[in-house]
Structure 1
């Protein structure tokens, strides 16, 4: 029952892709969209391919969705690329996933620079292999002056760990007598999260039919709109992205207030 409530039928606009983009841009655009990219393995299994083939195809989807997000004027696109729990997967798959950032950024970095996209990352950076870190650092350095879309990869990221680290940092400040316990409030906690410099997501999209957060941005998603789709990530295209944005634009975001008295 709950799953049916979450997965409402999306109202799909008619018209060409260009017309739909133009119409969407005339209404409120979510400033920050976060996506749990799920279904690569199932996509590969349906085609009797190894799981890594699904991940490779999913990389192409990242490019497509980055391009349309930039075209729509979205300010931040956060992609859940690798969780702290994903280290439990087979070594062959992990090794391949750790090579994908390098392949993606080597292939598409010139395009990202041309499109004024800024690359960032949240997550535990130190535990990544050197070749993965070097690829991400290079992309961040070469795009740091860009002021268009921020393409934010959540890599080796886990929200519970993020919150634990924030608590530790605040506890250290109290122990050093830099602050008092009475100084702890939402703003202070947010300032110690990995997303301190970003706005909270307005919209969360999860592909592949799963209806859960999987330890992703638990604090930041408190008032986000959720969009769940059965489409597997490698098949998630520009039309799917527009479907989610169009549905978002039909919702009344009240942020806990009485209807008609909250934010539009």
Structure 2
């Protein structure tokens, strides 16, 4: 067969009903086999390479982003079928606002359209019980996009099995800054005021409760106390008491209120866990797997706090619109192999693999 017609024949063959049926069954078989082993609970994706894919295929940049959203739908189904509980995707960086205005506006409209489709046709999320959370700086988004985001979150909030975190717009520096601010606010809030156990008001109240009428006791205290020097007796008025004299007319409750102490949380108790509880991802399991496509080997200010000593990091050369089970499968197999090796060795490991 001529080389001119072979690509067309291959495309026709792969999209024929029998071939699609076989491929679908093979995918289900592979996913079922993977789910029998250990599965990461939390996976993060840097969806990189949409613009490069558009340039390589000579299509509009916004079309490349559109294909990237379609790739996300494929990846979500694979993750949820395997048993992943939380998927976090880097959809839009705060730094992306520095791109040309037409591209930023196009991305905002694309996000709005895709979220609206998610609301209208949410079978995928409902099938796996996944709720949507949008993490980032909301005040940077247009009102119409915020409205769609709120509807998407509200529509899926009843789902409790899985979570889809969409970081939009987001940077780790902004997240960490927000966590520090909220921690400062928490530790600057006074606790419930309470009096000291040995305050003067408590002692007075205790004496009066035991003696019944406190006036007799106070009189006896005054009579038994030595008289003041004559030089001082002329200057002092009988209505003024010294610091050791209890006034029978004073209210114990008033004295106790005066002795209340304002208490703040102890700043020495702030730990890394405290900040973790103030991150956007608070309540999510630790990050097990970090994947970035397009061959770029950097974090780009994404999930810097969540990456820890046991997070496994993979930089893949494929572009995000190309990402599919056949790219994800080797990553999951390698992750499972490392987990089993770690269980055998009993030592945590962290490696960076370029695929």
TM bin, normalised by shorter chain, reads 0.7 to 0.9
1:194 aligned to 275, 280, 291, which one? 280
Q: Deviations over 1:5-36 (max 9, x none)?
A: xxxxxxxxxx9322211111010010010000
Residue 21 of structure 1 corresponds to 31
- The equivalent position to 2:79 in structure 1, one of 69, 88, 101, is 69
What secondary structure is seen at the aligned counterpart in 1 of 2:281?
coil
Whether the 8 Å CA contact 2:45–2:88 is kept in 1: the answer is yes
Deviations 1:118-144 (A, max 9, x none): 111111112211221112111111111
Taking structure 2 as the reference length, the TM-score comes to: 0.66
Structure 2 counterpart of 1:112? 124
In the alignment, the residues of structure 2 paired with residue 89 and residue 172 of structure 1 have an alpha-carbon distance, to the nearest angstrom, of 34
Q: 1:59 matched to which residue of 2?
A: 69
2:164 aligned counterpart, secondary structure: strand
Kindly report the root-mean-square deviation, in angstroms, between the aligned alpha carbons of the 2 structures. Answer: 2.2
Range with greater deviation from structure 2 (123-132 or 166-175): 166-175
Structure-to-structure mapping, 1:35-46, within 5 angstroms: 35-46=45-56
Q: Is 1:219 equivalent to 2:305 in the alignment?
A: yes
Cα shift readout 1:66-99 (whole Å, capped 9, x = no counterpart): 1111111110110100011111111111111112
Identify which range, 22-31 or 146-155, moves more after superposition.
146-155
How much does 1:259 deviate?
A: 7.4
Deviation for aligned residue 1:253: 8.1
Which of 254, 261, 264 aligns to 2:346? It is 261
1:179-228 deviation line (CA, Å, top 9, x unaligned): 22201111111111111121221000100000110000111012311111
SS of the residue 1:204 aligns to: strand
Q: Which residue number corresponds to residue 149 of structure 2?
A: 136
**Which residue of the other structure, out of 238, 244, 255, is the alignment partner of 2:331?**
244
Rg (Cα) greater in structure: 2
Tell whether the 8 Å contact from 1:59 to 1:100 is kept in structure 2 after alignment. no
**Cα distance in structure 1, aligned partners of 2:68 and 2:40:** 23
| 1:7 aligned partner | none
2:322 is the counterpart of 1:235: yes
Task: Report how far residue 163 of structure 1 moved.
Answer: 1.0
Larger RCO, structure (CA 8 Å, separation 6 or more): 1
**182-191 vs 161-170, which moves further:** 161-170
Q: Which runs of 5+ in 2 are unaligned?
A: 1-24, 191-263, 350-355
- Equivalent pairs, count: 248
Kept in 2: contact 1:37–1:207 (CA 8 A) = yes
1:150 to 158, 163, 170: 163
